[in-house]
Amino acid sequence: MSNTTSTQIPIEWIPSSHFDERPDENDVSLLVIHNISLPPGQFGSGDIVRFFQGDLDSRVHPFYKEIEGVRVSAHCLIERTGKVLQFVQFKHRAWHAGKSSFQGRNCCNDFSIGIEMEGTDDHIFTDAQYASLINITKQIMKDYPAVTLGRIVGHSDIAPGRKTDPGRHFDWCRFRTGLVEK
């Protein structure tokens, strides 16, 4: 279990070096939901972990040549099974949002937590993923009260035209309803 949040959710800690200090570690006020699969459209390869750690072998898949040398991370990844992996402590700035803006404020990495759902724009997410996402989001909202329902967005919301995730199959209604249920 990670020591980065007071949650009782089992989290596997797999540190990434792809992070830095936030300008203000007390300024966490946004949660960004993403999706990722490596290779594209495939699940369970372990390559997302390797990518976030800078250990992705570009010879394994043709797409990996396109992302060779890219340094990105997310705070957490929720695998198809619902397992949660954490790469960056919430108090630090993960490199997940890229060029982004929310309510007139640029550089969303500075003030956001990024959670990746293993998936694609065109696949339905699993029940286990929603359960884990709801549980970890509730804990984030408790630990970071500035993260409210209105400050939980998709990557597509902060980088429109550049990003489309978490995609058309992400069930925002199910997710938000789960957040308000006791």
Mean pLDDT (whole number) for 34-58: 97
Of residues 6 and 24, which shows the higher confidence score?
24
Mean pLDDT of 34-53: 98
pLDDT greater than 90 at residue 27: yes
At 52, which helix (H) or strand (E)?
A: helix 47-52
Give the rounded percent of residues in the chain with a pLDDT score beyond 90: 93
| pLDDT value for 5 | 45
Active site residues: 116
Is it true that the peptide bond before 145 is cis, omega within 30 degrees of 0? no
For the beta carbon of residue 92, count every other beta carbon within 10 angstroms.
16
pLDDT value for 132: 98
| CA–CA separation, 181 and 119 (whole Å) | 25
- Burial annotation 119-157 (CB, 10 A radius, 16+ → b, else e): bbeebebbeebbebbbbbbbbbbebbeebeeebbbbbbb
Q: Are 32 and 114 in contact (CB under 8 A)?
A: yes
**Residue range 75-108, pLDDT digits in tens:** 999 999 999 999 999 999 999 999 999 999 999 9
DSSP strands (E only) in the chain? 11-13, 19-21, 30-36, 76-78, 84-86, 92-94, 101-102, 105-106, 112-118, 152-154
Domains of the chain: which residue ranges? 11-180
End-to-end CA distance of the chain: 23
CATH number belonging to domain 11-180: 3.40.80.10
pTM of the model: 0.94
Mean pLDDT of the chain: 94
pLDDT in tens, 112-141: 999 999 999 999 999 999 999 999 999 999
- Amino acid found at 31: L
What's the pLDDT score for residue 8? 66
